[in-house]
Amino acid sequence: MQTDSSFTFVLFGGTGDLSMRKILPALFEAHRAGGMLADSGKIVAVARHATDRGEYIEWVNKHVKPHVSKNGVDEAAWASFLERIEFVNIDLGKAEDFVHLRDAIQDLPGIRVFYLATGPSLFVPICHALASVGLNVNSRIVLEKPLGYDLKSSNAINDAVGEIFAEEQIYRIDHYLGKEPVQNLLALRFGNALFEPLWRREWVESIQITIAEELGVEARGDFYDNTGALRDMVQNHLLQLLSIVAMEPPHSMDSDSVRDEKLRVLRALKPIDPRDIGKVAVRGQYHAGVIRGTAVPAYATEPGVKPDSRTETFVALKVEIENWRWAGVPFFLRTGKRLADRVAEIVVNFRAVPHSALGASALRAGANRLVIRLQPNETIRLYCLAKQPGEGMNLASVHLDLAFDQFFREGQMEAYQRLLLDVINGRLALFVRRDEQEAAWRWVEPILNEWKASNKPPKPYASGTWGPAASSAMLAQHGTCWLEEEN
């Protein structure tokens, strides 16, 4: 992915956790690879927690360097990367301070990218301040989630930002869309004649999409207690992955063709009747438990969390898509904190053969399945049946692997690295369009409203497990189970 695109990358929230762990390490990896970033490209960090460039570089060396290059840091590359970095100290709450930013970047070349790695409450003030000093032209703006608390607040932010930046200037980022296996899912489906004829209701029995975390809310208790798993993970990451899995073949891979097809999926989601929410939606909250031998506290005792909190840290949903391709196929979505393992995966369960001439073993579970692992290791694995060596026709489940790190010699690109390069180069396909976001909020909002109206507490689950038993019971009603329960 070579580029000659000159750029000025302005990072608001330059000393924040996201900048430290993801954004600056991703930019360094692109710089270290050579040819991905134009030599003239500059990174301008904006923050209040440093007084000048020297202090900021000291902070970068201390806090960012440990997060880059798993196999050690190339010191020469690191030193040349630091030369790209400039720093501006401004108060984001004072529009008049943005004159200093304008003066600092007005003579720098190329497209301007403004990355808002801040809380959503600052999105609109920052955009207005940029416009007040003429920085909303020849520019792109990147908005991190969460973009609003509900449909109304999301629309309010989008309306305000849309008055200042055109839709084609706005990059709403969802880092799961930048992961290598998600890209390979598109290649698998639309580049291979083997899978596309099977990718429909006649041959698919069910689909599971899981994003599980071992970590709790860590230092994000104040934020998370006002958000919850449905807003934090389902409305964006899980529904975006669902739309990628279920979309029709796009006319081409240009940005609007891909996003048009994703939008059709989101608009085809079967609305959940509030009277049925107890049957198709499970919410839970983690209690104290043990993960990998270490005792961890209950959610309600985490810093920043209200002791009587009813915020969900776990959600499992049964989702249906009302169109010809997917009618009647259940999609099971699941996400949670303090679960038994850190994993993100898509499981496509194909139907068993209609009649087995090879005996009952040909109908066993564990075969006729495609597992797309997004994290921690990125692989695609196809399970099928094969004859065991020896006498008789005894079948066993075997798998075919596409392990990217073994098959391809070049290293994989991290999700943020790919997405940041797409912003710099003006590629919108992997970013969320406003109408997609609105469709997702419209589908999620009745669930939020019903949970609020009922005022029922989330179901408890012990940390280190796979969530409330009701999650497993929901799948059992459909004659299936979560992947890890099969054995």
Catalytic-labelled residue, pool 237, 251, 355, 478? 237
Instruction: Say whether 237 is catalytic.
Output: yes
Report the C-alpha gap between 439 and 127 in whole angstroms. Answer: 24
CB-based burial of residue 124 (10 Å sphere; 0-12 exposed, 13-18 middle, 19+ buried)?
A: middle
Report the C-alpha gap between 261 and 23 in whole angstroms. Answer: 29
Report which DSSP code applies to 390.
S
Cβ atoms of residues 201 and 328 within 8 Å: yes
Joined tokens for residue 143: 């908005």
Question: What 3-state DSSP class applies to 360?
Answer: helix
For residue 145, say whether it is annotated as part of any ligand binding site.
yes
Report the C-alpha gap between 251 and 432 in whole angstroms. Answer: 18
Cβ atoms of residues 130 and 164 within 8 Å: yes
Give the number of C-alpha atoms closer than 13 A to the C-alpha of residue 277, restricted to the C-beta side. Answer: 18
For residue 232, say whether it is annotated as part of any ligand binding site.
yes
Joined tokens for residue 300: 């309600």
CB-based burial of residue 34 (10 Å sphere; 0-12 exposed, 13-18 middle, 19+ buried)?
A: exposed
For residue 387, say whether it is annotated as part of any ligand binding site.
no
CATH tag, 177-413+433-485: 3.30.360.10
Joined tokens for residue 246: 């279920």
How high is the pLDDT of residue 404? 62
The torsion region of residue 94 among left (phi > 0), alpha (psi -120 to 50) and beta comes to beta
For residue 91, say whether it is annotated as part of any ligand binding site.
yes
Torsion of CA 179, 184, 185, 187, to 10 degrees: 140
For residue 65, say whether it is annotated as part of any ligand binding site.
no
E strand or H helix that includes residue 291: strand 289-291
Joined tokens for residue 62: 């201390």
How high is the pLDDT of residue 192? 85
Report the C-alpha gap between 308 and 7 in whole angstroms. Answer: 48
Report the C-alpha gap between 121 and 26 in whole angstroms. Answer: 25
Query: Which segments of the chain belong to CATH 3.40.50.720?
Result: 7-144
How high is the pLDDT of residue 161? 96
Cβ atoms of residues 475 and 468 within 8 Å: no
Cβ atoms of residues 397 and 364 within 8 Å: yes
What residues form DSSP beta bridges with 150? none
How high is the pLDDT of residue 1? 45
How high is the pLDDT of residue 180? 83
Task: Please provide the size of the chain in residues.
Answer: 487
For residue 337, say whether it is annotated as part of any ligand binding site.
yes
Query: Which segments of the chain belong to CATH 3.30.360.10?
Result: 177-413+433-485
What residues form DSSP beta bridges with 334? 210, 316
Fold of 7-144: Rossmann fold (3.40.50)
pTM: 0.92
Name, in order, each residue with C-beta under 8 angstroms of 401's C-beta and a sequence gap of 6 or more. Answer: 379, 380, 381
Tokens 């989702």 belong to which residue? 319
pLDDT by 10s per residue, the chain, length 487: 445 579 999 999 999 989 999 999 999 999 998 889 999 999 999 988 778 999 999 999 999 999 987 667 889 999 999 999 999 999 888 889 999 999 999 999 899 999 999 988 899 999 999 999 999 999 999 998 878 889 999 999 999 999 999 999 999 999 999 988 888 888 888 888 888 889 999 999 999 999 999 999 988 889 899 999 999 999 999 999 999 999 999 998 888 999 999 999 999 999 999 889 999 999 999 999 999 999 999 999 999 999 999 999 999 999 999 999 999 999 999 999 999 999 999 999 999 877 666 666 555 556 789 999 988 888 888 888 787 787 777 777 787 887 666 666 566 788 999 999 999 999 999 999 999 999 999 999 999 999 999 989 999 999 999 999 999 999 999 999 999 998 6
Cβ atoms of residues 475 and 486 within 8 Å: no
DSSP labels, 358-400 = T-GGGG-TTSSEEEEEEESS-EEEEEEEEEPSSSS--EEEEEE
Joined tokens for residue 97: 């301070």
Cβ atoms of residues 468 and 314 within 8 Å: yes
For residue 283, say whether it is annotated as part of any ligand binding site.
no
Joined tokens for residue 417: 């690295």
Tokens 């689909």 belong to which residue? 207
Name, in order, each residue with C-beta under 8 angstroms of 323's C-beta and a sequence gap of 6 or more. Answer: 264, 265, 268
